Amino acid sequence: MRGERRCERGCLTGESLIETVDGPVAIGGLAGKSVTVMTRLPNGRIGFRLFSEIAVAATAVPILRVTFDNSRSVEVDHGHVFYARDGAERPVGSLAPGDLLDTSAYYPEGYVFRCKDGTSRISAGAVAVATVEPAGVADVFGGIVHETGSYFLTAGVRCKA
C-alpha cells in the first residue's frame, strides 16, 4: 500500500526548484519553513504570495519526470496538477507532448528565436511538454500557497499547490 499513496496537494520531489522571491530554491530544503513564491494572481498578472506548511507529503511514492521543450524537467507524484495555458487544471497523467502550459515568462507567440545550439525556433508563446516518463520512487513535498493555490517552478510552468 505504501507505494500507492498519493499527495493530497501538489507534490514535488525534494530536488525540484520553485521560483521564490530570492530566486530558485529546492522545495526539499524548505520543509518546516514558509517562503514567498511566484504565482499568478487572481487578476492574471504575475506576483508573489506566501507558500507555507511545506512538508514531506508522502514517502516512497511512484513519481514521473516531466521534461519541457526548454530542456528543464521536474519529478512529481502521479496526482500532481499543472495548469494549461488557458488556466485549466491538467493532471500530470493527462499531459502529452506538445501540450502548452501556463508560463511565467516566454517569447511572444510567433517570435523567432535562436536556440543555444544555433538553430532557430518559432515561439508557441508558452512552455510545452516534451515527455512524461516514469522516474522511480521518492519522497515528495507539498504545502499551501495563500490566495492563489499555485506557484511557478523554475522550469517556468505553473503548478497547483
What CATH number should be reported for the domain holding residue 14?
Answer: 2.170.16.10
Domain residues for 39? Answer: 2-63+74-95+133-160
The C-alpha cell at 29 is 530544503
For residue 100, being part of any structural domain is answered with no
Could you report the per-residue pLDDT of 13-66, keeping only the tens digit for each? 999 999 999 999 999 999 999 999 999 999 999 999 999 999 999 999 999 999
For residue 114, being part of any structural domain is answered with no
Beta bridge partners of 58: 140
For residue 128, being part of any structural domain is answered with no
Rounded to two decimals, what is the model's pTM? Answer: 0.90
For residue 127, being part of any structural domain is answered with no
The angle subtended at Cα 155 by Cα 46 and Cα 93, nearest 5°, is 100
Count of domains in the chain? 1
d(CA 36, CA 80): 21
Could you report the per-residue pLDDT of 118-143, keeping only the tens digit for each? 899 898 999 999 999 999 999 999 99
